[in-house]
Structure 1
Amino acid sequence: MTSQPHLKFAVLILTVLLITGIVCYAAFSPPAPVDPVRIMFQTDAGKVLFTHQTHTEDYYLDCLDCHHNIDDDETYNCSDCHEETGDDYMPSRTDALHETCIGCHADYGAGPVDCNACHVL
């Protein structure tokens, strides 16, 4: 059987290794993505899942192709400006998304244009 001093030494070594592992994991963990990978839009017509990777990698779109007022990596919510106010000058978020998404899909034949193709969940 193992002696008491050897057991204490083994527990001490295991504790040091555990703490070292936790510190290393926290120090070298991968950074969080700057932009969300996928967004789930909650709408009256059903949820819409939007995948950034499809649009940026498969269709080579730049962030500014859709996000027209990004300043120095500043994040914002579209609804901050595109509220449901009925203002003809500033379209609602719904109208802005429909115009941008459906317009691009129709122009390039690269995505769905029917309601049920996006509002599926």
Structure 2
Amino acid sequence: MSFKNELKFVYALAFVCLVVGVFCYSSLPAKSSDEPVRKMFKTVGGDVLFDHQTHKDASNLECKSCHHAYDASSAAAPGSCGSCHLVDGEYVPAFGAGGRFNHDMHSADYGLSCSDCHHDYHEEDGGMPQMCSDCHEKGGGDDFMLGREEAFHKQCIGCHEGSGVTPGKNDCAGCHGPRKRAEAFHKQCIGCHEDKGAGPSGGDADCIKCHGF
């Protein structure tokens, strides 16, 4: 094969590779603009999913509505330090070193109850932490951003308690943890799915089918 023919072959091969590459690239699925759907809980009825896009569109939320970086110049979410330590746009420093939080002072002087900050606190648990960093990640700094677990724990209750469903004695995991059907049925499912108008439970069981007369 002459040099001229070899050169033609190389050019032809390069052209074929280019065409194949463009075709393969164009056939790749486009990156979705939708936010991801997360699996939050496992239940006996299936997985409880959190759809970021639905929450953004329906509630007009931004990412930082839940995954917020601390900013002393802006109002913070209810239940956070900034909701009290921000007055007329000016940050009021908390006294004490190391972020120490005095529960007794806040309770006696400002009339706050445990549940004002700790939505799932039960008195029988006792031993409440005294440092902000006991609950909030150490070394977070001013740019600390909540991860998925912390954002879910801190924020979901605040919006979903406003749905009109009377909360039960248990926290979220009391219902949404892996449960046997009888246990879940007796605890809270029947109360929300029937009495509160949240729709049927989806099963065909009732009291008589399990307990007889």
Tell me the TM-score normalised to structure 1 length. 0.47
For the pair shown, the structure with the greater C-alpha radius of gyration is: 2
Tell me the TM-score normalised to structure 2 length. 0.30
